[in-house]
Amino acid sequence: MTRDAGGMAIETAGLTKRFGSQVAVNSVDLSVPSGSVFGFLGPNGSGKTTTIRMLLGLVTATSGRATVLGHDMPGNALAVLPEVGALVEGPGFYPFLSGAANLHRLDGADRLAPSATRSARVETALERVGLGGVGNKKVKAYSLGMKQRLGLANALLSPRRLIVLDEPTNGLDPQGTREVRSLVRSLTEEGTTVFVSSHLLAEIEQICTHAAIMSVGNLVAQGTIEDLRSVGAPTVTVSTPDAAETASVFATLGLAAEITHTDDAAVVTAQLGTVDPDAIVPALIAANVRIRGFSVLRPSLEDLFVQLTGEGFDIVQ
């Protein structure tokens, strides 16, 4: 197998898709490092699924290019896709076949998947997503969550270098959502790159090493989770009845204080900048400031997400 270009499992440059006059994906430059768990975030209609379809060779880009596992797509789809497991916009199975028979069929569609180990691999994949007991039931008897799990099992049929999951927690209960998270963790331990899209940041924030944020077809932020968190500067907050004294101590430390009064105390905040947060409390105590509360907060990724993509239920067109 060829090496990934620059250790990137996925790389796109100027990737664009237009549907008629509507631009669904607008010049997206994605860089997904090998071995990462990459969160692909954005509200509904922001272009996540369209991007994923282009990565998988289902949709031809209007312009730009995409490289997956070191090969250009869609030209090398037949070489690349056997090493890619995918769940795209919900599961799709024959209702009149059992879950296991559906997996057999899809595995059989991949010429490179060895038929000798097929039954064992189907069995293992079903076990892994918690469908071990119902693999022989017809899919039409499955609940939405069970179908979603079967879709995950399909992505796990063969050893993969990349797994692409489009909204994998759709239709799952909280327990199922937790299971997906632990499944993704176990995949990364095996060295698989996981590219997971979601419109719910909270569901994947804990498991991602990297993330990108889409808004109305544009990629508005991308990087490691740490990088993204540090886009907003951390702030220090002191709750105290001695607001004025606190502000002057802050001034000597080089912090610009902002005071908001509450009933019996004041809250003094400041951008932390390069000041060592551990030096603040000793300085306040030395100045005999009474401290009722102290915290150093980084803005949450959620704040960034909302700030970049807007809030509310309206789908931005």
Ligand X SMILES: Nc1ncnc2c1ncn2[C@@H]1O[C@H](COP(=O)(O)OP(=O)(O)O)[C@@H](O)[C@H]1O
Binding site for ligand X (CB under 6 A): 19, 22, 24, 42, 44-50
Using the contact rule CB under 8 A, the part of the chain among 25-33, 51-59, 179-187, 302-310 near another protein is 51-59
Site membership for another protein, residue 96 (CB under 8 A): yes
CA atoms of 125 and 112, how far apart (whole Å): 18
Closest CA to 39 of 156, 201, 178: 201
Tell me if 49 contacts Mg ion by CB under 5 A. yes
Restricting to residues 219-238, name those near Mg ion by CB under 5 A: none
In the numeric block, the tokens 């197998």 are attached to: 1
Cβ 168 to another protein, closest distance in Å?
15
- Cβ closer to another protein: 92 or 232? 92
Cβ contacts of 215 within 8 Å, gap of 6 or more: 42, 43, 46, 308, 309, 310, 316
Contact stretch for Mg ion (CB under 5 A) within 46-54, 113-121, 200-208, 212-220: 46-54
Spatial distance between the Cα atoms of 7 and 149, rounded to a whole number of angstroms: 30
**Distance in angstroms (rounded) separating the CA atoms of residues 180 and 196:** 11
Question: Considering the complex, what minimum distance in angstroms separates the CB of residue 40 from ligand X?
Answer: 9
The residue among 41 and 103 lying less far from ligand X, judged by its C-beta, is: 41
Q: Which stretch binds another protein (CB under 8 A): 31-39, 85-93, 123-131, 205-213?
A: 85-93
Name residue 212's amino acid. Answer: A
Q: How far is the CB of 216 from ligand X (least distance, A)?
A: 8
15 binds another protein (CB under 8 A): no
Alpha carbon separation from 129 to 8, 132, 184 (Å, rounded): 28, 8, 11
